[in-house]
Amino acid sequence: MPNVKLTLQYDGTDYNGWQIQPNGRTIQGELTRVLSILDQRHVTVYGAGRTDAGVHAEGQVANFTLQRDFDLRELRDGLNGNLDRDLRVLAAEIVPDSFHARASARLKEYRYRIWTADVVSPFVRRYVHHYRGQLELEQMRRAADHLIGEHDFRAFTVTASDVEGSVRTIERIEIVEEENSLAIYVAANGFLRYMVRAIAGTLIDVGRGRLSVAKVSQALSTLDRDQVGPTAPACGLTLLRVDY
């Protein structure tokens, strides 16, 4: 049975995240539903990252095996024809049997957008966190520098986690000033649950002057969640890409 890789985009606003749940619409659940109809059997879908409820994706990756013989373009169109319009398959391709969307990933990049203008445009409101106050960019960048490299990020996740180990390596954090907004780009070899949103909330608090750069550095050594900022809202977060 061929191993198929999908590249996906979705607006996560109306989804309960990636992972299948007993109650609630999820990305994995919708893909499983449609693929199982097309392949006439239950299909198990694996994703590169378990995006949380309300989180979006421009470059999510999934894989699964197929029993029936499909033309890849017809498979893509068949999926899109049966999925809601807030979830799209951009491409489908055959990959080696050893490929796994999550285990084979070597780098993931997220973007967190903060809308800083007084009024949020209705065209972006679902994809940004609105903060109207002044933010000190240089202080935010100084704090971000402390997070780059290999660290134990236990202070930047939830207490209860189903992932073994909390050490991750952040390759890059970049804070870019855009028209009416700031974008925080974070690229790492992997992420803990809520990790990017906790980093974003922490950097916002640094930019507001509520949290010092030294406190951010201290949190990495104390592993104390109370030392850092709140978890920023899900709407501002987008999974941009996954590298293999």
Residue 176 shares a structural domain with residue 71: no
What pLDDT does residue 23 have? 87
Q: Does residue 52 have an active-site annotation?
A: yes
What totals of helices (H) and strands (E) does the chain contain, helices first? 5, 10
Q: What percent of the chain has pLDDT over 70?
A: 98
pLDDT band at 163 (very low <50, low <70, confident <90, very high): low
pLDDT tens, residue by residue, 122-143: 999 999 999 998 899 999 999 9
Residue-number span of the structural domain to which 24 is assigned: 3-95
Does 15 fall in a domain?
Answer: yes
Tell me the pairing of strands 87-95 and 107-115. Answer: unpaired
pLDDT tens, residue by residue, 8-63: 999 999 999 999 998 899 999 999 999 999 999 999 999 999 999 999 999 999 99
pLDDT tens, residue by residue, 71-94: 999 999 999 999 999 999 999 999
Question: Quick one: three-class SS letters along 94-163?
Answer: EECCCCCCCCCCCEEEEEEEEECCCCCCCCCHHHCEECCCCCCHHHHHHHHHHHCEEEECHHHCCCCCCC
Q: How many beta carbons lie within 10 A of that of residue 62, not counting itself?
A: 22
With contact defined as beta carbons under 8 Å apart, do 15 and 53 qualify? yes
Residue 84 shares a structural domain with residue 155: no
- At which of 72, 95, 118 does a domain end? 95
Residue 146 shares a structural domain with residue 214: yes
- The domain that contains 45 carries what CATH number? 3.30.70.580
- Out of 52, 69, 226, 243, which one is annotated catalytic? 52
Instruction: Output the pTM of the full model.
Output: 0.95
Residue 228 shares a structural domain with residue 119: yes
* Token pair for 81: 């024809």
Tell me the pairing of strands 56-65 and 237-243. Answer: parallel
